[in-house]
Structure 1
Amino acid sequence: MANVEDRGNGSYRLTVIIGYNDKGIPIRERKTIKAKNMKAAKKELTVFEAEILTGKYFKAEDKLTLKSFIPQWLDKHAKDTLSPDTLQNYISILEKRILPKYGHFKLEEIKTIHIVNFINDLKKDGQRLDGKEGKLSASSILNCYKAFNNVLSCAKRWKLINENPAIGAKPPNGKSKKSEVYSKEELAQLIDLLKDENLFWRTLIMLAVTTGAREGEIAALEWKHIDFEKNTIRIEQAITEVLGQGVTIKGTKTGKDRTVTVPDGVMLLLDKFYHQRKKEKFKVGDMLEWEDHFFVFANVFNKPIRPDSIGQWWRRFTSKNKFKHIRFHDLRHTSATILINEGVHAKVISERLGHADISTTMNIYGHVLEEADKTAANHFDQLFKKKA
């Protein structure tokens, strides 16, 4: 039951009965608002009642500080909207950087200048928490800003503050240095070097190069995702390691599933590796882990590989072979760059990489597309010269 009481001068009191105590007396939740008329107030009442029924209503207190708000933000917003990795990162930033300085502030006391000062302080020397010398990277500062902004935007959405003070502060763009990639010649050398590696790693690296999949997506691949008849792989999940929980399965970074066509040579590797994994599974018997899954890249007990261990092996591999080292993630960029230089449409590349939309692809690989465009123009130039 809910009702509106006109208290005069455009003020209305909203009342929602949320239950009864053991004596049968109604338990009411009230909120006073400003509205143009009774019709507008009734609309607010509908929203107010829905927030209470769905558990999204947060009762404001006179002395609600940032520190006392964080548990509500975490329970009613962050856990449902942020990925495990992002949530873990934001919590760490809040505990180590934001709350020590601003935790005692009332929410309405936090102004844009506080966010500006927060960002400015992060740019100074001595802000690294790992004990190393040097300044924080632009991307690290941007992540700190994002954590603060996420909390404050939630407070505004719940009408605990009138405006989000973080909006007026300008964070660094967080752009990283241009990624290094392998040329076609270097990629050919890599393929030759992989011939001396075991089937597990040879298959994994070739998949990374030809599909452009992320580390977590490769680690989460299961044999049910491989279609040997159509030469395709379905990428619909990723593996992440959550503090206190261990290895868990989540959706892809963008939440979008995708199907990627794989070259015949890589499918032959997968087929050979599949038979090897089946034999391992049979030998293990009752000791099999993750019984509801059959991972492509796992140990003999079917425990999936940790994404961070892929990068560790990759560094050892390039060092051992004295081969040019790039980050494992840059194999994804190598895959995209080669496709662009071969004239593959950006939309196709975007779908293979699992980007949220084509604009993401254009932003990341704009410089490569520009070079490819110049090459295309040169083809016309050569054609006209021949005609002349």
Structure 2
Amino acid sequence: MASMSKAVLKNGLWRAKISYRDPKKRNLERKDQRSHIWIEKRTKEELEKEKSKYEAIEKNVIILGTFGDLLDKWYKERLNHNKPKTLNEYRKYLNYFIEDEQLENVYVSEIKHTDINSYLNDYAYEVRRDGKDSREFPVSWSTKNQYFSALGSFFSWCKQNEYIQENPIKKLEKPKRHFVAKELPPQETWEPMWGKIFEALDEENKEELTVLVHLALEMGSRQGELTALEWRHVNFEKNEIIINQNLYENKELGTTKKSKGHIVSISNSMADELKRFKNNQSKLIENRVDKSHNYILKADNQGKPYRNSSIYKKWRRFLGRHSIEYPEGYGNFKFHDIRHYSASFLFQNIDESEGLTMATERISKRLGHSSADFTRRYYIYYVPKDDKASANVFENFRKNIAKSKDSE
């Protein structure tokens, strides 16, 4: 912005020095781009009007810089503001614009939103960098969102440093996430498969893994919500667990997707199992590194929490050891699929007189969805009349599995 020194009355005229960014010096270093001029006017008001003229000149000053050159400057400056992991991820996606010889030598002031839109839709969103066929494995929403976020960060910085007047990304529509309803294997395979899972858990006798799977199935919670659970969240008197935080991949605690949190009822058998687990785990409490958090699921004897990716790997290794897999055509049995099984078991064991609207509302709350409409679109299950009945569904399910095992 143009600036003006304090006006001084001299020889009947008001005199002041105006400093402004000179268009003729735009190719110089930023510190050398300002010019200074002394102005004399009869009144202070006339001085202010003169200053406004130079402010208008500044607005038309665009500092020249190519996409390739500014990328390095952006990266160095943002190191003090962004997390290195985030910034390096952004840099990776921005480098694609250079590798593909799209924007490296183009002045950022000449880049239009239509140019970026064409590149993203006609190329970036259509090409997988891992070599897979994008026709069979389309570029994911998260990848598209990374492109968009990286460009947004870069061009926002360009605007702040006066390389551009408007951020072209502001004119583009952010990639929309298209959810696809999970397709579980045929219903007749559910009970035999879960019977095999429970039998394998008993055979391995790994208490923590058993608790993890039982909690995931009964509560229907997200992976990060399970790893973030602490003993203070469990109310053994009411058989309830509070879900109000989420543990992200970098082990940072944050709010759940439904930031207000919610309460999930658990069965008597689940509560008893947690009590035994807590008692057996008590010897680890004194070794905890972070005394402020006492996680239910601990990754080591110092009480550190699991990464979400570790839970996924633990689950996949468990299934591999016991040759448990989906029928052909249904892909891998992901840990997140347990959340869908949780909802589907509720659907199978409800009183249909409840009604679709109220039932969907209840299951939505139990799963922690922000709206019943999302549950209706991607889960579409009934639920019992109250959440206590939801918990009983899983107790009965596990009893039926046990009976089948005893009768063999």
Normalising to structure 1: TM-score of the pair? Answer: 0.63
Q: Indicate conservation of the 8 Å contact 1:149/1:166, yes or no.
A: no
Q: Indicate conservation of the 8 Å contact 2:247/2:253, yes or no.
A: yes
Q: Indicate conservation of the 8 Å contact 2:364/2:375, yes or no.
A: yes
1:299-341 CA-partner distances (Å, limit 9, x unpaired): 2221212221111111121122222351001111111222234
Distance 2:270 2:98 in 1: 50
- Give 1:360 deviation, angstroms: 2.5
Distance 1:312 1:338 in 2: 25
Structure 2 match to 1:167: 172
Q: Structure 1 residues 348 and 180 mapped into 2: Cα distance closer, same or farther (>3 Å)?
A: same
Q: Indicate conservation of the 8 Å contact 1:213/1:332, yes or no.
A: yes
355-364 or 171-180: which moved more? 171-180
- Give 1:296 deviation, angstroms: 0.7
Matches within 5 A, 1:1-388: 62-63=63-64, 67=71, 87=86, 91=90, 94-98=93-97, 101-102=102-103, 105-106=107-108, 109-124=111-126, 127-128=128-129, 130=130, 132-135=131-134, 137-140=138-141, 141-147=143-149, 150-151=152-153, 160-161=165-166, 164=169, 167=172, 174-175=178-179, 178-180=182-184, 183=187, 184-185=190-191, 186-196=193-203, 197-242=205-250, 247-281=251-285, 285=286, 287-298=287-298, 299-325=300-326, 326-343=333-350, 345-366=359-380
Distance 2:264 2:4 in 1: 52
Q: Indicate conservation of the 8 Å contact 1:194/1:202, yes or no.
A: yes
Distance 1:146 1:353 in 2: 30
Distance 1:363 1:16 in 2: 61
Q: What is the RMSD of the two structures over their aligned residues, measured on CA atoms?
A: 4.1
Q: Indicate conservation of the 8 Å contact 2:241/2:265, yes or no.
A: yes
Q: Indicate conservation of the 8 Å contact 1:220/1:237, yes or no.
A: yes
SS at the partner of 1:294? Answer: coil
* AA at the equivalent of 2:323: K
- Give 1:138 deviation, angstroms: 3.5
* AA at the equivalent of 1:290: D
60-69 or 193-202: which moved more? 60-69
Structure number with larger C-alpha Rg: 2
* AA at the equivalent of 1:106: V
SS at the partner of 2:226? Answer: helix
- Give 1:190 deviation, angstroms: 2.8
Distance 2:145 2:316 in 1: 26
* AA at the equivalent of 1:255: S
- Give 1:146 deviation, angstroms: 3.9
Distance 2:230 2:157 in 1: 41
Q: Which runs of 5+ in 2 are unaligned?
A: 6-15, 22-60, 327-332, 351-357, 383-408
Distance 2:216 2:123 in 1: 39
Q: Which runs of 5+ in 1 are unaligned?
A: 1-12, 18-24, 31-59, 370-388
Q: Indicate conservation of the 8 Å contact 1:226/1:233, yes or no.
A: yes
- Give 1:259 deviation, angstroms: 1.5
Q: Structure 1 residues 74 and 363 mapped into 2: Cα distance closer, same or farther (>3 Å)?
A: farther
1:250-284 CA-partner distances (Å, limit 9, x unpaired): 22234332211112111111110000111233xxx
- Give 1:178 deviation, angstroms: 3.4
Distance 1:263 1:28 in 2: 73
* AA at the equivalent of 1:308: S
Structure 2 match to 1:53: none
Distance 1:249 1:172 in 2: 26
The share of aligned pairs that are identical, in percent, is: 24
Normalising to structure 2: TM-score of the pair? Answer: 0.60
Structure 2 match to 1:372: none
Distance 1:27 1:293 in 2: 58
Distance 1:239 1:231 in 2: 23
Q: Indicate conservation of the 8 Å contact 1:73/1:154, yes or no.
A: no
Q: Indicate conservation of the 8 Å contact 1:236/1:251, yes or no.
A: yes
Q: Structure 1 residues 289 and 72 mapped into 2: Cα distance closer, same or farther (>3 Å)?
A: same
Structure 1 match to 2:25: none
Distance 2:18 2:290 in 1: 47
- Give 1:212 deviation, angstroms: 1.4
Structure 2 match to 1:41: none
Q: Indicate conservation of the 8 Å contact 1:355/1:361, yes or no.
A: yes
Q: Indicate conservation of the 8 Å contact 1:256/1:354, yes or no.
A: no
1:212-242 CA-partner distances (Å, limit 9, x unpaired): 1111221111111111111111122222233
Number of aligned residue pairs:
302
Q: Indicate conservation of the 8 Å contact 1:142/1:174, yes or no.
A: no
Distance 1:203 1:188 in 2: 16
Q: Structure 1 residues 95 and 156 mapped into 2: Cα distance closer, same or farther (>3 Å)?
A: closer
107-116 or 173-182: which moved more? 173-182
* AA at the equivalent of 1:323: I
Distance 1:260 1:16 in 2: 63
* AA at the equivalent of 1:292: S
Distance 1:254 1:72 in 2: 34
